[in-house]
Each structure stands twice: as structure tokens, then as C-alpha cells.
Amino acid sequence: MKTIDKIPTSKIERASQLVKTGLKVGGNYISYYGEKLIHPNLTKEKLNENNAEDIYDGLKNMKGSALKVAQMLSMDKNIMPQAYVDKFSLSQFSVPPLSAPLVRKTFKKYLGQFPEEIFDTFSPDAINAASIGQVHLATKDNVKLAVKIQYPGVADSISSDLALVKPFAVRMFNLKGNDSDKYFQEVESKLIEETDYELELKQSILVSNSCNHIPNLKFPIYYPELSSSKILTMSWMEGEHLSEFTSHNTDLEKGNQIGQTLWDFYMFQIHALKQVHADPHPGNFLIDKDSNLIAIDFGCIKNIPNDFYSPYFELATTENLNNPILFEEKLYELEILRLDDNDETVAFFKKIFHELLSLFSLPLQKDTFDFSNKNYFAKMAKMGENFAKDTQLRKMNGNRGSKHFLYINRTFFGLYNLLHDLKANIDTNNFKKYIKN
């Protein structure tokens, strides 16, 4: 794979890259509509493919939060055309890596030595590269190590990147009013945390120590003395990415075992630790030869405050969903309903969210749930499509819900999609036996 020697870090450089990408996308639309005049039955499939490729090509050399947003979008297969999902999912572990000289320069700056002075062996070429950093294989004292190196300038460009994409996000998600800033601040704060490898090191050790009693779940060993704010060293874990495993696996028993482990891991974090690994994409998990699940990245951890946790999961039961008084009370607690709403607005959002939460929380209401059920995911996709077309909803103030919904809902959508890929049938209460009273 071609390497890169420089990442655009200034606001002007990054804005220019986005403008160039926008011009390419504009050209694709002109070509599409011109061709459609000749062929009226032409679909948007080719247009989506061209746009996805041009947008990804523009973002992959920028890296950082711009590419991270593409990665986040690729996790929700219900809101984007498949061409975008396929292309943007490459940002999870397959983008152009830094060149060897730039890697050496990073080591010298943040660990005071070149990699060959620290390790017995060090691969100059990255094993894989994602949105914020890339991984190299090294050895020290006969131990294989994975060394993650952060791209230069990533942390410094987060605020300016989000400012550039904010106008598009405002339109896409129908955000109105000054309080929309709270959502952008939530995203910005989490992205900044993801660029702090010292924080990730602490989070990785905490989660791995807290969850290592869950069967069929493995974690790397972390090396603080070989890590810094931009470099993170851990033991090398053998396995294939979860998406690679699901692409060829036909063993339902293996899929169920891995899916159960994944579910137990997430439910334990949420209900016992009150925090969760909020980046459940396939690039963050490996499957080893014994069908163990290996969690390898803890840069994005979302803490769940009690005043959000309680009403959120109280509305995950059929009994509470069907209790009109309690249901309305919890919607106020979750900031979905507001004190300045009139009766018509209250009735509208109660109807919308009752439908949404009844479907979304269905796996949490059952003792077992089969995530291979295509009908369930088709209903989720159809509901999203209906909401996108709802003219009354578009007229409403789009700023509904606590800022904590952003990463908690993202976590569940990502988890559901991974379990669907695994075709897993799971026991939803199994995790409870791992929680100490």
C-alpha cells in the first residue's frame, strides 16, 4: 500500500481538501443527471459508488476526525446507501499508512528514541492503519508487540474539522437552535479523548482487569513503559478481524458463542461498570483460532451517568413502555420532551418515541433474541426511512434527547449490527451471572 509523508494539519489545508472533494462530488451529480436525460431508468447506484469513492479518497489522506466521522457512519447500515457503507468501512483498519521516516520522527519526539533503539525488531511498514493511528509489529525480549502510533496533527485539527462538517450535520440531522452545540461538544470531547493515548492506556487496563472473568473474552497486555501520549504498546494478539470472520464463517455454534461473549461483555460494562466501549466496529475486535473474542481498542469509552442510565433502561421494558404516565415522565427525564412543548408536540413525540423504543429495545425485553432475524433489521431500516420522510418531524425542533443518546445509541446500533453479522442467537440475561452482588 502507498504510504504518505505528510498529513494536512492546518485549517486552510484541510478545508481545501474538502473543497476539492466537494467539486468531484458535484461533477458526479452533473454526469448522473446528464446521463439520466438519455436513460430515464438509470438508478443512483453508480452515482453512490462514485461519490463514496471520491469522498473516501478525500478523507483518507486527511485522517483524524474527518475520517472518524466516516467510520462512525459506516456502522449504521440503515441510514446510508450500501456503497457508502462498503467504502467508509475501510476506514476501520485499511487506509494509507505513514511513511517509515515519519514514524521514526514520531518515536523520537514522544519516546525520545528511534524504534530500533527501543525494540529488538520493528516493522517499518504498518500492519494496518485506521482513522487516528496505525499499528506496527515489534518484538522485545522474545515477546511480540503491537505498537499503535497516532498520526501527527490529529488532535489539533479536531475542532476545525468539526466546524467544517457542522453545516452538513445540521442539515442531515435536522438540528435547530443554539442548543444543538451540546451535541457537537459531546462528539468533540470524545474525539479529543481518543487522541489521548495515556487516557486510552488507563481505560484499557481498567476494562481488561474488570472484564477478564467473562469466558471466551481476551485482552492484550499493556506496556506503560513503552507508551506515551501518542504511542501505545500492547502484546500482539493473533486473530482475524470480526468482519473477516463473519465473511466466511458457516458454523452457527461458533457464531453463537462469539455473539454471546460480545453481548455479555457489553451488558457487563453498561450495567456493572456504568461505562462502555462506545466504538463497536469490526476493526476493534479479533477472533482467534479457538473462537475467542479479543477486544483491542479502548480509545472511546462513554461514562453513563445515573440520571441517564435509570430512565433509559426503565423504558426498555414492555411494562414501562405501556404505562402512559411513567412513559411521559421518563421522556422528560431523557430531554425528549421539553417544558415549553404544547399538547400537540407532546402527543406527537410520545407516539414517535413509543414506536421507536418499542422496536429498538425488543432484544432487551426478551430472554433470548435471534440477531440473524432479517425481519427485525428490515423493520429498523423501514422505520428510519419513514422518519426521514416525515414532513411533520422535519418541521419540529430536531434537538430532542440528552447528549448521552449520541454514544449510547451508537453503541447499541453497532452492537446489534455485529451480532447480526455473526447470526448470533443469544441469552440476553446471561451476563448477570458475571456481576458480583
Percentage of the chain modeled with pLDDT above 90: 52
For β-strands 293-295 and 217-218, DSSP reports them as: parallel
pLDDT score, position 93: 45
Residue pair 300/279 in contact (Cβ under 8 Å)? The answer is yes
Measured distance CA(84)–CA(421) in Å, rounded: 18
- Beta-bridge partner residues of 369: 426
Q: Is the pLDDT of residue 393 over 60?
A: yes
pLDDT score, position 430: 97
Q: Which has the higher per-residue pLDDT, 134 or 208?
A: 208
pLDDT score, position 172: 47
Which residues, at least 6 apart from 24, have a Cβ–Cβ distance to it below 8 Å?
54, 58
State mean pLDDT over 48-54: 62
Residue pair 89/58 in contact (Cβ under 8 Å)? The answer is no
Measured distance CA(314)–CA(407) in Å, rounded: 18
Measured distance CA(436)–CA(361) in Å, rounded: 25
Measured distance CA(403)–CA(77) in Å, rounded: 22
pLDDT score, position 385: 75
Give the confidence band of 158 by pLDDT, cuts at 50, 70, 90: confident
Q: Is the pLDDT of residue 75 over 60?
A: no
State mean pLDDT over 103-125: 94
Which residues, at least 6 apart from 402, have a Cβ–Cβ distance to it below 8 Å?
308, 334, 335
For β-strands 231-235 and 143-150, DSSP reports them as: antiparallel
Measured between alpha carbons, how far is residue 234 from residues 181, 260, 411 in Å? 36, 26, 24
Measured between alpha carbons, how far is residue 337 from residues 124, 237, 331, 348 in Å? 54, 46, 6, 10
Report residue 199 as a C-alpha cell. 487516557
Question: Contacts for 139-143 with beta carbons within 8 Å, 24 or more apart?
Answer: 140/226, 143/235
pLDDT score, position 434: 96
Q: Is the pTM of this model over 0.75?
A: yes
pLDDT in tens, 307-366: 999 999 999 999 999 999 999 999 999 999 999 899 999 999 999 999 999 999 999 999
pLDDT score, position 20: 57
pLDDT score, position 204: 96
pLDDT score, position 56: 57
Give the confidence band of 190 by pLDDT, cuts at 50, 70, 90: confident
Q: Is the pLDDT of residue 128 over 70?
A: yes
Give the confidence band of 79 by pLDDT, cuts at 50, 70, 90: very low
Query: Cell match 481488561: residue?
Result: 208
On average, the pLDDT of the chain sits at 82
Residues present in the chain in total: 437
Helices (H), 173-294: 181-194, 197-211, 242-248, 252-268
Number of other CB atoms surrounding residue 40 within 10 Å: 6
- Beta-bridge partner residues of 425: 370
Q: Is the pLDDT of residue 1 over 50?
A: no
Measured distance CA(147)–CA(136) in Å, rounded: 5
State mean pLDDT over 202-222: 97
State mean pLDDT over 64-85: 52
Residue pair 414/235 in contact (Cβ under 8 Å)? The answer is no
For β-strands 368-370 and 240-241, DSSP reports them as: unpaired
Residue pair 216/288 in contact (Cβ under 8 Å)? The answer is no
Residue pair 275/302 in contact (Cβ under 8 Å)? The answer is yes
